[in-house]
Structure 1
Amino acid sequence: MELHLIIHGQKDLAGQLYRQLREAIDSGRLASGTRLPPSRLLAEQLGISRKTISDTYAQLTYEGVLVGKVGSGTFVNARAPRHERSQETFRFASQDNIDHWAGLNTRLSHPGAEGTARADFIGGATTRLQFPQEEWRRCVNHAMRQMNTPRGHYSRPEGLTQLRDGIAQHIAYARGVNCRLDDVMVCNGAQQALDLLARVMLRPGDKVAMEDPGYPPARLLFRMLGADVASVPVDAEGICVDRIPDGTRMIYTTPSHQFPLGMPMSPARREALLARAVELGALVIEDDYDSEFRYEGRPSDSLQSLDRHGVVAYIGTFSKVLLPELRLGYLILPPPLFPAVIRARQLSDWHSSTLPQWALAKFMAEGYLLKHIRRCHGIYAGRRERILARLAGDLAPWLEAVPSVAGFHLTALLHKDVSVPLLIELARKLDVGLYGLAPFYDQVPPREGLVLGFGAIDTLDIDPALDKVRNLLQQLG
């Protein structure tokens, strides 16, 4: 790859070269440790003498900006001074829209590893200690061999056939979803699935109904695309169907494990929701984000499996059962929607990376996914039981668990007047990560409580962490 330098005319060649190299290094465009081209190659590239190149390199080396390493070449010195690039502020005609996007409060953004507490009850996160590294490595090696064939073409927008077939079989087995290979689209996580559906189904001003409390990134996405989001309250049976307004085009719901409260939607409410969707001509989005993990009672049918009119789009993700960084999820579409979503996908990012798709297809075909889910289920069940025992024991004067049978977070409601923000702040100082319930509400008056994730916290850290929480609650009242 050629170094981007431009020489004009035949005058002051050394000066032109010196100034451009010095500016590129001082601005940081050429980073510390960057190897510069040999003088012979750069001379051929620029059409000037090799001596001019060598003299300029020597001058910059004398100034401490470059450093020569015998047998290796000439490099940008790590001690070279850096200057912040100054640029006059320019206001775009669309600056109001830019500021609107930049000012969004993405409440569920996960912190980096350096931002987490030792005992962190963060939801939607897993620990790498459970991830089957060796099995995944073998599957990645298989993927590399598959990609070593001389194709050189883009892949299919809907995803690799082998992975789509594996997904269709998995969710039919694990969740009772009624689908075929041709109904499956592989996405970059559940969030992209939501984005594609919203782009195809909605125009600015169209009404979307979603649970309140509910999933803030979905609500923000719909609103930023111009939708009128109607916040519909939930009760012990799920979304209050009779509160879904007329004119609704799309309904977002989490029926198997209501997010964030945790209770499942009752069978009667599911039937009522489907009937209301048919009446409105609305699409129902079923976000089944973590219900592979179930701890009590008989499994409930997915909403999609009860659909007799083709009004449900089912979204699933591998972020919760494997790792969020993989960014792989899937969308099960009613057949009439598939061609439109394919076009939207082509215009968005064409397709998901094929390397992790090949690896995941092999991972599923070899039975590693089901084995991993069974192993995690036992771990999560133990953590859940420990948290529930504490909520029913010494934490009972302050907190009450919301009934939940699936997933790897649960919600505890406060029934004493305690400042949750202060509790969270004090717990963080004790290296305990807590997360409040109130930010998940939109229009419905929020209930105070905690959302306790148990996917990332080590089992041995749970009791010491909850001891600290109990002590803080005693101090706060």
Structure 2
Amino acid sequence: MGTWQRLITEQLTTMPLQRLIYDDPRGHADLRTEIAALLRRSRDLRVTAADVLVTNGSQQAVHLAARVLLRPGDRVAVENPGYPPPRQIFASLGADPVGVRVDSEGLVVDEIPDDCRLVYVTPSHQFPLGTPMSTRRKLDLLAWARRRGAAIVEDDYDTELKFTDRPLEPLHNLCPDDQVVYVSSFSKVLLPMLRLGFLVAPAALRPALATAKYLTDVGTPIAEQAALARFLSVGEFANHKRTLHSEYGARRELLIEVLARDFGDVLTLVPSEAGLHVTARAEQDMWPLVRAARRAGIWLYSLGDFTDPPNSADGLLFGYGAVPVDAIEPGLRKLREIYDRKGRK
């Protein structure tokens, strides 16, 4: 936090006044350059600064893509279970979001309605299940989109929080036909309050996206963009990421260990290699446990919180991004007591 405060102060005291008023709505030039370099290093994306548009978080990036790609009445395929805000964004623009089942390989392509104009997916770390989309399924999805003339929004929301060295090929890299809008954010790896995200778009969409961005908010705050560009360029981001991997890795390992030990008779962990949550399946309705836990001050999510329409919860999501490592075991012990007392059927 001290480094970030110093960088913000440095930008506010040294940046010319005209830069602090208005700038390019596509984003600060230095930040777009640094984001492109980061994507080339960490995701092997073949991008330059010209491909990048800076947004106020990934949620705005999805909104801008939807504004440009969709018309009222268009159908949009979304993962079910899946992240609710994109579904709500599409509906707010007059589109018709359609939930499509997710299995162990990702979105079930064969179940996408033929008339969908856009598909929204989280292939590197499906939310909320946590599993990556298989390469075979990615290729199937791209082939489906090519046949239907549809676009894909790839939300790579927490790619920097991967706990394995195994590379995950983005859809964007597998697509030679400019079908994919790639979306990501710094919210998970830095600060949610920072509200800095970005999208990488095909050249044909860039003018419309830049116009939509300008009409939405004129542009993202410049001082924060310039500070992040500096944070990336001097190596502070790489140092910060190593610290996060150590801290979050310890939390993740302990959470998985305790869940396997104390809830092995109730829950089956879903394999996952990234992110700030662990998901577990159950063979019973977990809503009684969820409600009892929330009354006791433990904020627990069920898989039913992420389905549309909401259904009986047959699994749980455990977030550990804001939970200190020394609070994990006591919290799960308390949760087990609640389950033994109230959560059982």
Smaller-chain TM-score bracket: over 0.9
Asked whether the 8 Å contact 2:156–2:183 carries over to 1, the reply is yes
Following the alignment from structure 2 to structure 1, what is the Cα–Cα distance between the partners of residues 161 and 20?
39
Counterpart of 1:263?
131
SS of residue in 1 equivalent to 2:301: coil
Q: Give the equivalent residue in structure 1 for 2:185.
A: 317
Task: State the number of aligned residues.
Answer: 343
Q: Match for residue 176 of structure 2?
A: 308
What is the root-mean-square deviation in Å for CA atoms of aligned residues?
1.6
Compare CA radii of gyration and give the structure with the larger one.
Answer: 1
* 1:327 aligns to 2:183 (yes or no): no
Asked if 2 retains the 8 angstrom alpha-carbon contact of 1:413 and 1:447, the reply is no
Letter in 2 for 1:424: V
Code of the aligned partner of 1:183: D
1:342 alignment counterpart: 210
Structure-2 separation of matches of 1:408 and 1:175: 19
Shift of 1:431: 3.2
Corresponding position: 1:143 with 2:11: yes
CA distance in 1, matches of 2:195, 2:54: 10
Output one character per residue of 1:223-274: Cα deviation in whole Å (capped at 9) or x when no partner.
1111011211111000011111112111100000001111000010011111
In the TM superposition, what is the alpha-carbon distance from 1:457 to its structure 2 partner?
Answer: 0.3
Identity score, percent:
43
Q: How does 1:387-406 map to 2 (within 5 A)?
A: 387-406=255-274
**Partners in 2 of 1:262 and 1:143 — Cα distance?**
37
Instruction: Measure the CA separation in 2 of the matches of 1:444 and 1:278.
Output: 32
Q: What does 1:229-378 align with in structure 2 at a 5 Å threshold?
A: 229-296=97-164, 298-378=166-246
> The residue matched to 2:77 in structure 1 has which SS?
strand
- Displacement of 1:146: 3.8
Q: State the match for 1:437 in structure 2.
A: 303
Partner of 1:214: 82
Give the partner amino acid of 1:468.
K
Separation of aligned partners in 2, 1:151 and 1:212 = 43
When residues 214 and 418 of structure 1 are mapped into structure 2, their CA distance, relative to the original with a 3 A threshold, is: closer
Alpha carbons of structure 1 residues 418 and 139: separation in structure 2 relative to 1, 3 Å: same
SS of 2:101's equivalent in the other structure is strand
TM-score (norm 1): 0.70
Distance change (3 Å), C-alpha of 1:148 and 1:428: same
**Which amino acid counterpart does residue 298 of structure 2 have in structure 1?**
V
Quote the offset at 1:148 in angstroms: 3.7
Indicate conservation of the 8 Å contact 1:215/1:260, yes or no. Answer: yes
Cα 1:151–1:162 shift into 2, 3 Å: closer
Supply the distance in 2 between the matched residues of 1:317 and 1:164 (Cα, whole angstroms): 13
Using the alignment, how far apart are the partners of 1:242 and 1:445 within structure 2? 23
Bigger mean CA deviation after superposition, 245-254 or 442-451: 442-451
Report the residue type matching 2:334 in the other structure. K
Rounded Cα–Cα distance in structure 1 between residues aligned with 2:338 and 2:192:
32
CA 1:418–1:277: 2 relative to 1, 3 Å: closer
Pairing 1:384–2:252 present:
yes
**Are the counterparts in 2 of residues 212 and 443 from structure 1 also a CA contact under 8 Å?**
no
- Residue by residue over 1:330-376, the C-alpha shift from the partner in whole angstroms, topping out at 9 and shown as x without a partner, is 01001111011111111111100111011111111111111111110
Distance 1:224 1:377 in 2: 37
Cα distance in 1 for residues equivalent to 2:170 and 2:147: 20
**Which secondary structure state, in structure 1, belongs to the residue aligned with residue 292 of structure 2?**
helix
- Identify, as 1 or 2, the structure richer in helix: 2
- State how 1:84-95 maps to structure 2 within 5 Å: none
Indicate if the aligned counterparts of 1:212 and 1:444 stay in contact, CA closer than 8 A: no
Residues 212, 234 of structure 1: 8 Å contact kept = yes
Equivalent residue number for residue 426 of structure 1: 292
Distance 2:238 2:20 in 1: 33
Deviations 1:159-181 (A, max 9, x none): 01000001001121112222111
How far off its partner does 1:446 sit? 5.3
d(CA) in 1 for partners of 2:77, 2:9: 44
Residue type at the aligned position of 2:138: R
CA distance in 2, matches of 1:467, 1:164: 46
> What is the Cα deviation at residue 143 of structure 1?
1.1
Name 2:330's counterpart in structure 1. Answer: 464
User: Which of 299, 309, 321 pairs up with 1:455?
Assistant: 321
Gapped runs of 5+ residues in structure 1?
A: 1-132
Is this contact kept in 2: 1:390–1:396, CA < 8 A? no
What runs of 5+ residues in structure 2 fail to find an aligned partner?
A: none
Closer, same or farther in 2 for the Cα pair 1:444/1:243, shift >3 Å? farther
Deviates more, 1:294-303 or 1:168-177: 294-303
Question: Match of 2:128, SS?
Answer: coil
Alignment-mate amino acid for residue 159 of structure 2: S
- The alignment's TM-score, normalised by the length of structure 2, stands at 0.95
- Provide the rounded CA distance (Å) in 2 between the counterparts of 1:153 and 1:391: 51
SS of alignment partner, residue 200 of structure 1: helix
> Which secondary structure does the structure 2 equivalent of 1:250 belong to?
strand
